[in-house]
Amino acid sequence: MKNTVRRGRRLTHGTVAAVLSVLLVACVLFINVIFTSLAGKYNIYTDMTDELVFTLSDAFKTALSDVASPVRILFCHEPDYLKSNTLTNYVYETALQIAEAFEWASVDAINANREPTLFSKYALTSASSGISTSSVIIESGDEFRILSANAFYYANSDGTIWAFNGEEKFAAAILSVTASDLPVAYFTQNHGEKKSEALEELVRSAGYEVRYIDLSKEQPDSDARLIVINDPKYDFSAKDPEKGSASELETVDRFLASDYGSLMVFLDPLSVGGLSNLREYLYQWGVVVEDSVVRDKQNAVSTDGYSVVGVYNTENVLGSSLVAEIAGTDSPPKTIFEYAAPITFSDLYSPELSSDSETPVPTGAYSYYGSNASRDISAVIRSSEDALAMRDGQPVDGNGSYNLMVVSRETRVINNEAFSSYVLCSATADFTNDEYIQSNVYANKDILYAAFKQMGRDFIPADLDLKVLPSYDTIEDMTTAQANRWTAALILVLPLAVLAVGTVVVLRRKFK
């Protein structure tokens, strides 16, 4: 009888212990499910990265402290997709932190493939500003900026990503779209310049206010970012030592020495002979326009071979950054250079050599170092190797691969802050023709649009540091299904451990 009572008590205790174990497991699972749901909905997490990649820095918050206009950060895919990919996840999580830190910021994520009409207003150009699922749109009112996820990272020469510069990119875009006054782009006049309504409209679409300027009488305003010299027929004045008078080119030079001044020049090969002052000024920036014209019968859209199809630069240099997005598409559109002179680099500049190997090789860029600043120049677009340089209808050079568009950059440091100015030049009067700017067949407008954006449109805040990324070799390639399996496994570890311990205790007490 006593043994029966003891066995009954043991069974009762064992049943209670088993029930308690089951209830504990259920509670832990329930708490995990609730917390996971709340974390996903309200973006609750702990930043455990060494560089605090997901935590906004004080410098970033200070840079945006005066923003008051509503800003919308729009991603072009669903949140689950953005979080499943490491490249977009960093950007998305940073955007969520911005929305949490500032009342004026909001974040949306919509699949552009399923809702294409919602994104139609952002498709300003046919290639360089097209919307993809990795695009990030920052907008305020009628102003917006479109960035690709890749733009938020720094990569090594082999393409491996090593740092995240999300704060700088977000801050620059937000400050640009919320600026009370648009930056000004000046078109020079009184030198027989060609007027292009389509070009001016493209400049406005890139976020500038368009104005005209007589450099002999006016100075650019402080909010100016760009001067465009489009096919001048008459030269710009140089300084007269006897009169001591300032020149138009000195005005340009002072403008380029300002914080964000940049210059675009489009020249007609038939007119360059009479533009000695302008050519001498461009020489200081590394640009030399040759006395010939490029013909490429194998790669042209005209039978005479003078409407040359350009070849995009893919070297790891400044020039390639203007065409990288276009060149990276599956079927890059053509960029046309009609009756263009080849451009070489002035002898003030020396080839830059790669330091990645024991035997340095040319990078494709040339550089010049002064006492207070440095300059580098590289090709944006070249002709093919089949091209010839022609003069008076006769070939004068057959080396091919001539520079058709180049960009030069001056970098200087003032009070520990870096500033850059740009000079972009192409020796063709037809690159900015309305037929090319308005066409969706050719990429001329896309090249210009990318240049307008890079050469002075953005405001780059200082003191925003890069965040070096940890290694995610195993995580970067993880699919959503794999991530879900790992999450489920980790959630079940503790409950299963408790259940196992409870089972052992019950069994030991039952058979004791």
Domain holding 192: CATH number? 3.40.50
What's the CA gap between 81 and 90, in Å, rounded? 12
The answer to whether residues 87 and 19 belong to one domain is: no
What's the CA gap between 283 and 249, in Å, rounded? 13
The answer to whether residues 280 and 310 belong to one domain is: yes
- The reply to whether 355 falls in a domain is yes
Reported as a single tens digit per residue, the pLDDT across 143-191 is: 888 888 887 887 665 667 778 888 888 988 898 888 877 789 999 999 9
What's the CA gap between 479 and 280, in Å, rounded? 57
Q: What is the pLDDT of residue 362?
A: 87
The answer to whether residues 191 and 173 belong to one domain is: no
What's the CA gap between 363 and 441, in Å, rounded? 31
274-277 contact pairs (CB < 8 A, 24+): 274/233, 274/234, 274/235, 275/232, 275/234, 275/235, 275/236, 276/235, 277/235, 277/236, 277/237, 277/238, 277/247, 277/249
The answer to whether residues 83 and 125 belong to one domain is: yes
Number of domains making up the chain: 3
* Burial classification of residue 9, based on how many CB atoms lie within 10 Å of its CB (0-12 exposed, 13-18 middle, 19 or more buried): exposed
The answer to whether residues 131 and 172 belong to one domain is: yes
- The reply to whether 11 falls in a domain is yes
- The reply to whether 148 falls in a domain is yes
The answer to whether residues 230 and 376 belong to one domain is: yes
Of 177, 207, 235, the last residue of a domain is 177
Q: What is the pLDDT of residue 210?
A: 93
Nearest alpha-carbon partner for 228 in 258, 198, 260, 200: 200
How distant, in Å, are the alpha carbons of 493, 503, 504 from that of 8? 33, 18, 19
- The reply to whether 52 falls in a domain is no
The answer to whether residues 172 and 272 belong to one domain is: no
Q: What is the pLDDT of residue 327?
A: 84
The answer to whether residues 170 and 267 belong to one domain is: no
The answer to whether residues 153 and 301 belong to one domain is: no
What's the CA gap between 414 and 153, in Å, rounded? 25
Q: How many CB atoms within 10 Å of residue 102?
A: 17
Question: Tokens representing 306?
Answer: 């003078």
- The reply to whether 450 falls in a domain is no
What's the CA gap between 306 and 383, in Å, rounded? 11
Q: What is the pLDDT of residue 478?
A: 40
Give the domain range for residue 8.
2-47+474-510
Q: What is the pLDDT of residue 482?
A: 47
- The reply to whether 443 falls in a domain is no
| 264: DSSP letter | E
The answer to whether residues 35 and 125 belong to one domain is: no
The helix (H) or strand (E) run that includes residue 146 is strand 143-148
Residues of the chain with pLDDT under 70: 1-54, 123-130, 155-159, 240-245, 356-357, 416, 456-466, 470-499, 501-502, 504-512
- The reply to whether 465 falls in a domain is no
What's the CA gap between 182 and 174, in Å, rounded? 13
Rounded to the nearest 10 degrees, what angle do helices 166-177 and 86-101 cross at?
50
Domain CATH number, residue 145: 3.40.30.10
Q: Which residue has the tokens 């959630």?
A: 491
Question: Tokens representing 424?
Answer: 């972009």
Residues contacting 511, CB < 8 A, separation 6+: none
247 in the Ramachandran plot: left (φ > 0), alpha (ψ -120 to 50) or beta? beta
Predicted structure pTM score: 0.66
- The reply to whether 86 falls in a domain is yes
The answer to whether residues 134 and 224 belong to one domain is: no
The answer to whether residues 236 and 344 belong to one domain is: yes
| 235: DSSP letter | P
| 470: DSSP letter | P
| 300: DSSP letter | B
Of 397, 431, 465, the last residue of a domain is 431
Of 177, 209, 238, the last residue of a domain is 177
